[in-house]
Amino acid sequence: MSPVVGARAAPARRIGLICGGGDFPVEVAAAAVAGGREVLLIGLKGSADDSIEAFPHVWVHVGEVGKVFRALEDFGTRDLALVGAVRRPAAKDVRLDWVGMKSVGQLGRLLGGGDDRVLAGLIDFLERQGYAVVGVQDVAPSLLVAAGVLGRVTPDADAQADIAEARRLLGALGPFDVGQSVVIADRRVLAVEAAEGTDLMLKRVGKLRAQRRVRGEGGCLVKMAKPGQDLRVDLPAIGPRTVEAAIEAKLAGIAVEAGRAIATDLKGLTAAADKAGIFLFGFDEDAPAS
């Protein structure tokens, strides 16, 4: 697994998007098309949303590896990106075709480990088959979060201290197969993301505060890629639900790593954040945390 991203300066004009769940695949497809690319969306049954059908698409079961390869060949590309959340598939969503059968040993090993290892293994598998896996940042760079204050609210010194502490904490968590985000207030860690994902973690903080199990308001969500993470998969992302949940949790703001995080519907996000009076901040990945 390579920590270097975008080593290929420009991916091919045609790109296959292997689509997991959520709105994200459609956002990426729209941004890619707006950027002058052609896309084929390959929806994983059991994960991808029907909304992908707004674009040229094909549906596959997990395990229909041959069908994926044929679709990419027909479309005329060997470049692809993995977009959206992929759950470990339920048995009914798995169907092995001939190529899948031949790969089953290799693929089977992917399903046991943590997210990191599943995705790293999947990329490795695809690259061994002669495909180039590129990142969302290459396909749709307009979705990357810029450095600095994104809305109207600026994080104060207290928030900056929280962000610095959170970055140190996430750095320390780097070697472990765990989440990419924390909620921190006044240097106290209120929540650490693991298997539940960012949105449920934020809801938990909102609930703990509503129940007075955690007192006070403020603090922020800090989300960043792991040190050494392969940025072609699972780039940290924020979307409308992230902002909503942060507002519900009475946070002062959201900070993500500039250039290494994706924002879907940034205009909507900043409008919602401005209205609620919370900050959206892209911190510079090259500046030290303290």
* 168 is an interface residue for a second copy by CB under 8 A: yes
Minimum CB separation from a second copy for residue 161, in Å? 13
- Which of 193, 234 has the CB closer to a second copy? 193
Identity of the residue numbered 157: A
Angle at 217 between CA 215 and CA 223, to 5 degrees: 110
Q: Give yes or no for a contact between 94 and 79, defined as CB atoms under 8 angstroms apart.
A: no
Task: Pick from 88, 102, 109, 128 the residue near a second copy by CB under 8 A.
Answer: 88
Strand bridging mode 132-133 / 14-19 = unpaired
Residue 92 CB, shortest distance to a second copy, in Å, is: 12
Residue 185 CA to residue 276 CA, distance in Å, equals 18
Amino acid letter, residue 185: A
Of 35 and 113, CB closest to a second copy = 113
Which C-beta is closer to a second copy: that of 50 or that of 211? Answer: 211
DSSP lists the bridge partners of residue 141 as: none
- Which of 96, 132, 147, 169 forms a contact with a second copy (CB under 8 A)? 169
User: Pick from 97, 162, 165, 257: which binds a second copy (CB under 8 A)?
Assistant: 165
Enumerate residues 58-77 that contact a second copy by CB under 8 A: none
Site for a second copy in 103-122 (CB under 8 A): 112-115
Among 54, 104, 195, 287, binds a second copy (CB under 8 A): 195
Please say which residue, 121 or 259, places its beta carbon nearer to a second copy: 121
DSSP secondary structure string, 203-232?
Answer: HHHHHHHHTTSS-----EEEE-PPTT--TT
User: How many residues form the binding site for a second copy (CB under 8 A)?
Assistant: 39
The CA distances from residue 18 to 60, 108, 147, 235, in Å, are 10, 19, 29, 15
Q: Decide: is 210 part of the binding site for a second copy (CB under 8 A).
A: no
When asked if residue 173 is in the footprint of a second copy (CB under 8 A), the reply is: yes
DSSP-assigned states of every residue in 228-247: T--TTS---EE-HHHHHHHH
| Residue 86 to residue 201: CA distance in whole angstroms | 19
Hey, what amino acid is at 28? Answer: V
Tokens encoding 257: 């790593």
Tell me: does residue 175 bind a second copy (CB under 8 A).
yes
- Per CB under 8 A, 93 contacts a second copy: no
Looking at residue 21, the DSSP 8-state letter turns out to be B
Closer of 212 and 267 to a second copy (Cβ): 212
In the complex with a second copy, which residue's Cβ is closer, 54 or 194?
194
Question: Which residues make up the interface to a second copy (CB under 8 A)?
Answer: 87-88, 90, 112-115, 165, 168-169, 172-173, 175-179, 182-183, 186-197, 200, 204-205, 208, 212-215
